[in-house]
Amino acid sequence: MKDKIPRMDYQQHRAACRLVHECCNYDNGNCLLLDDGEPCVCVQSISYSLYCRWFRLAVLPLDKKLEAALLHRAELKHCTECGGYFLPKSNRGKYCPDCSAMVRRRKEAERQRKRYHLSTHLGYERSP
């Protein structure tokens, strides 16, 4: 049981604490699911582990990088652009979703520049 519960480092814990406020069961620092008549502190906001199943299934997917870092450690890859971890959609993935759009635009611009340069600098004279 202890091996199946992911442990977080400090930065991941801080990100999870910010994300706890998005949980529908969070009420002023208390968990509505654990409420049995008297208020109970939200376990996820004070723990460095992912004990809350609801948080793991419903809230953690809101932060894709944190989810990938905690739940899919074996399948993670490094983004070659920013160095962060991400869960690739295929075995060819090199970039995280944030960087992939940026890299695609940069490569497309370079490809168009090269194409323009080749078409205008071939030595042909333009006729009026």
| Tens of pLDDT, residues 67-123 | 877 776 667 788 899 988 787 888 888 898 889 999 999 999 999 999 888 887 765
Rounded CA separation 42/39 (Å): 9
Average pLDDT, stretch 51-61? 82
Rounded CA separation 77/98 (Å): 14
Tell me if 116 sits within 8 A of 126, measured CB to CB: no
> Helix, strand, coil shares of the chain as percentages rounded to 5?
45, 10, 45
The model's pTM is: 0.49
